[in-house]
Structure 1
Amino acid sequence: MSSRHVASSLISNSSHTTNNATKSVPLSKRLLFPTAPASSFDLPPLLLNPLIPPELNAELYDFIALALRAFVQPWWTKITRYDKEFLPIITEILTHAVRTLEERLANAHQKGDLAKLVFRDVPLVVTQHYRDFRIAQCKVNSSYAAGGALSFSALFHASQSHIAVKPDGEIDSDYVRFLVDHILKTCLPKQDWDPEPERVIVREIVVKIVVKDIFGKITQPWFIEKMILEQLMSIPSHVKPKDTLSHSNGLSLHTLIVFVLTLIQSISGACLALVYAYRQLVITIKEVNHHAGTTETHSTQVPVTNLPPPPPPLPDIDSVPVSRTPSEYSAPSVKHSVSSSSSNFLEPTPHSPSSDLTQPDLPPDYASYPLLVISEIFNMDARFASNAVMSTVGMATSQGVAGGWIDKLLPYLLTPYALSQRIPCSPPIDPTPEEQAETRQKLINFLDGNTLASLLLGPYPSDTISAALEPLENRECNFHLIMILLDSILGVLFPELFNGTG
């Protein structure tokens, strides 16, 4: 009996060990790579950039696995329950598409187009959105609106007319279908792009997700306000701890010793913080300068293909056998005069296209555009104090000593090494109208009691924030903003779409 008991216990222990090993295998490994050995847990890299942290690679695989399990596996198992190759094939296609987008994003970053998009194009688009919204508000019930016959949405659409957005804010699916068709042609493998049924099915699924689900969600005013509030709440706030020590009225030796030791501790802590900040600043400056030098080297290695072809070589006149008179032998050689004239001909004039290539480019001045959009959103020009502060900051960052270095720092912040990891989360549930009003009220009252907010946003910061949220609370206007931003992003990643080469 004892031997049977020992054998049964060993079998149960081995089964528990096997079950624990199976349970410890991540979902992405079991679902996306079912034929891989269970002992190895290293997933193949989804992104090829070595600066990408491995945690982000694992999170992306988990996101793909959860999406396929939620939206593909339920209906595929009804067709066939024993086929385990469909999900791995989808994973291969997604890997190819993600790497293609990564390559285009890296090329745009090396050429500087990504920095121009983030720090110039997007702020300008948002600034124009706010200006057009406020101008349309002023035109309502005026002669510009045909005596009040035109609605606010029609006035705003007239100032920001887009081929894909109708006056009522509805998006034209054919425009999005054209964009998705080109993106799929670029990102999908050839064997998956050639079959027309597969291409059409994938395209229609993507168009439905983009138009109905994504655009239908991110254009909601409550979604934008909730996203802004979550970002503000994630900022750590340093609250000064309350002093729990009892302060005695008399000055004793014990109190003096505690005061001296506390002062020494504060000074040492401040010195350590300064040393750490100095070291981090030196490291950051070195990395920024190295990144700027690498980008400039890459930009100088790009061949110039728009130069005109060189002129044909002029013939050597002295080599032509002609008869000369004795007086002509004493004349100066024609070769020197022709060569001098040809050198004058080849020398570029100030208005020739080749001379423009040698002119230095103007500085990008990336810091001025974010300051411009902040000034427009919160209407900084309407108050003297905020206008003075923004003007001073603008001069310091654009024309001051720090202007050139900031133009190097901001593109560096877009590198994968400097970007913080963002874990995909589940989509938010549509809140009730009461919850939406509560979110807006929290966002409006977020800076109450802040002295700096009163200086920049006026004596009533809540009113300024409420006015800043109005251009984002109209869903029809948000569709215009989203489509223009989408065109700007695709113009950087897929420039052939808009320059006629695609």
Structure 2
Amino acid sequence: MSTPRPPPSVASTSRTKPLQQPLAKRLLFPSLPPDAPYPPLFSSDAVSSELDPVLYDLIALALRAFVSPWWSKISRYDKEFIPQINRILIHVIQVLELRLCQLDLPRLLFDDIPVILTQHYRDYRGAASKLSTSYASGGSYTLPHLFHQLQPHMAISQHGTLNQEYYRHIVDHILRVALPPEDYASEAERYIIREVVLKLVLVDILPKITQPWFIQLAILNALGSEQSQAGNYIPSGATSSSSTSTTNSSQSLLILLLSTVQKLSGASLAIVHAYKQAVSTIKSVNQLPEPGTYPLFSRPQSPRQTDSRDSSTPSSSSDPMSPSRRESQHFGEAPSHSMSSPLPAMALPLLILLSEILNTAERLAAKIITTALYLFIALCTPFLNRLMPHLLMTSLSSTFMLNLTRAAKRTLFPNGYPGPPMEEPTLDEQAVIRAKLIAMRPSGALGIQTPPLLTI
């Protein structure tokens, strides 16, 4: 008679059971050894190494959710398709990183985008003022039609319909730069990637994020979360309201005094920390090079100065300058005459955009404040031209990108899989969202007698 075998111990089972590899290694790098690190995703040394596993995990979750379901029906046993897509994505990310490093980001964010948005606000108000006039053909033209007459573009029609052929050509040009040559040469692969990107951008993303209710709901959620955190704070004395009636008045005064001292000490520490941070920032900003050395602050020479320089140079006629060299000389070199071509104020387009959004031209007090800010920017232009790029590059750090990637992972894949799609609210719900946003006031002393600023 055979004796029954004893059950295996916990230690033996824990030794024999292999450790489960992360999803990114199992799906994207199946041939990678378990102890080997991830391949570097970014070529820049300024990017933290902690960003690679998080971004690889996000890519693996996206491929498992959107590619594996339909590819497993086509070829169930093919395990090389997902790693091949990951290889192409790595190449695209590295190409985009190289181009972002060459981009003049301060000029894009502080100059180009504010100028475009300011022009959009002005054209919108101009179109709204022509609704009940003869410009609208007796009221037959709608507001989108009048706005489209002021800013016609082939990418979008007057009814808000996106031109898919226009965006198809744009994506094709981007793929020509981003994809490897052997992948771009394959028409089937290029067309599949192009149509997938078009479907994601034109069908799933752009029609939703450009809706007013989506923008208003995002602002409402951002402001509501901050106010809920501030509103959830319950003072320690409020929980014991029933017992305060039995306490002595001297104890109440002592508690009030101690709480006042605590608040004053906290405010003093915050002021000291802000002062030290401001002093450190000012010192680091003053050590930066002169603004004129950046291409952002250079100005093209006037034709009169160019003609005088050409006439004074004997070899200018015998050695004509190519257009590329002339453009690089005009826009790449710092001007030597700082008095005749002053440096542009980097904060000025942002202030113009803010005044256009708030419509300060029709409000006397706001117009006075805006004029004072104009004078302040004019006086502090050299310092602000150093400070704003410094603050931008400091905020766009590896920690910021890491937190942004983790937030995108939690939002898009809360349980490892895509969350339920957001349903479009009805017209009544959209009106309620807009009313809540207009009626919202900032918390604290700034919320007292604050007029609604979101009306256009």
Distance 1:132 1:262 in 2: 53
SS of equivalent to 2:114: helix
Matches within 5 A, 1:310-389: 357-360=335-338, 362-389=342-369
Q: 1:146 aligns with which of 124, 133, 137?
A: 137
- Aligned pair 1:214/2:205, yes or no? yes
Distance 1:7 1:251 in 2: 69
Matches within 5 A, 1:10-409: 12-14=13-15, 17-18=17-18, 21-22=19-20, 25-40=21-36, 42-108=37-103, 113-235=104-226, 238=230, 242=235, 243-244=237-238, 265-266=262-263, 268-289=265-286, 292-293=288-289, 357-360=335-338, 362-396=342-376, 398-401=377-380, 403-409=381-387
Question: Is the 2:441–2:450 contact (alpha carbons within 8 Å) kept by the matching residues of 1?
Answer: no
Distance 1:359 1:419 in 2: 40
Distance 1:450 1:268 in 2: 20
Give the drift of 1:54. 4.3
The number of residues matched between the two structures is 405
1:4 alignment partner in structure 2: 5
Distance 2:269 2:65 in 1: 51
Distance 1:345 1:118 in 2: 39
Give the drift of 1:96. 0.9
Residues 171-193 of structure 1: CA deviation (Å, up to 9, x unaligned): 22222122111111111111111
Greater CA drift, 137-146 or 411-420? 411-420
- 1:446–1:251 CA distance, 2 compared to 1 (3 A): closer
1:430 alignment partner in structure 2: 423
Greater CA drift, 214-223 or 425-434? 425-434
Distance 1:138 1:132 in 2: 10
- 1:456–1:118 CA distance, 2 compared to 1 (3 A): farther
Amino acid in structure 1 at the alignment position of 2:116:
V
Question: Is the 2:106–2:389 contact (alpha carbons within 8 Å) kept by the matching residues of 1?
Answer: yes
Percent pairwise identity: 38
Give the drift of 1:268. 4.2
Distance 2:34 2:157 in 1: 53
Distance 2:368 2:342 in 1: 26
Give the drift of 1:32. 1.0
Amino acid in structure 1 at the alignment position of 2:273:
Y
Let me know the Cα RMSD of the aligned residues. 3.8
Q: 1:441 aligns with which of 429, 432, 435?
A: 435
Matches within 5 A, 1:464-475: 464-465=453-454, 467-468=455-456
Amino acid in structure 2 at the alignment position of 1:218:
I
Distance 1:345 1:11 in 2: 88
Distance 2:445 2:160 in 1: 40
Residues 243-270 of structure 1: CA deviation (Å, up to 9, x unaligned): 5585999985x67766776665555444
Question: Is the 1:132–1:159 contact (alpha carbons within 8 Å) kept by the matching residues of 2?
Answer: yes
Distance 2:253 2:160 in 1: 71
Q: Which structure exhibits the higher relative contact order, with contacts defined as CA atoms closer than 8 Å and separated by 6 or more residues?
A: 1
Residues 288-314 of structure 1: CA deviation (Å, up to 9, x unaligned): 456x439977769x9xxxxxxxxxxxx
Question: Is the 1:184–1:193 contact (alpha carbons within 8 Å) kept by the matching residues of 2?
Answer: yes
Residues 111-131 of structure 1: CA deviation (Å, up to 9, x unaligned): xx3211111221222222122
Give the drift of 1:383. 1.8
Question: Is the 2:110–2:346 contact (alpha carbons within 8 Å) kept by the matching residues of 1?
Answer: yes
Report the TM-score, using the length of structure 2 for normalisation.
0.76
- 1:269–1:141 CA distance, 2 compared to 1 (3 A): closer
SS of equivalent to 2:392: coil
Question: Is the 2:292–2:335 contact (alpha carbons within 8 Å) kept by the matching residues of 1?
Answer: no
Question: Is the 1:380–1:456 contact (alpha carbons within 8 Å) kept by the matching residues of 2?
Answer: no
Is there any run of 5+ residues in structure 1 with no aligned partner, and where?
303-342, 469-502
Is there any run of 5+ residues in structure 2 with no aligned partner, and where?
299-310, 317-325, 413-418
Give the drift of 1:456. 6.2
SS of equivalent to 1:275: helix
Question: Is the 2:291–2:385 contact (alpha carbons within 8 Å) kept by the matching residues of 1?
Answer: no
Give the drift of 1:414. 3.1
Distance 1:363 1:62 in 2: 45
- 1:356–1:266 CA distance, 2 compared to 1 (3 A): closer
Residues 334-385 of structure 1: CA deviation (Å, up to 9, x unaligned): xxxxxxxxx975599xxx9999942346434222222222222222222222
Distance 1:231 1:81 in 2: 43
Residues 298-334 of structure 1: CA deviation (Å, up to 9, x unaligned): 769x9xxxxxxxxxxxxxxxxxxxxxxxxxxxxxxxx
Amino acid in structure 2 at the alignment position of 1:272:
L
- 1:158–1:382 CA distance, 2 compared to 1 (3 A): same
Greater CA drift, 54-63 or 205-214? 54-63
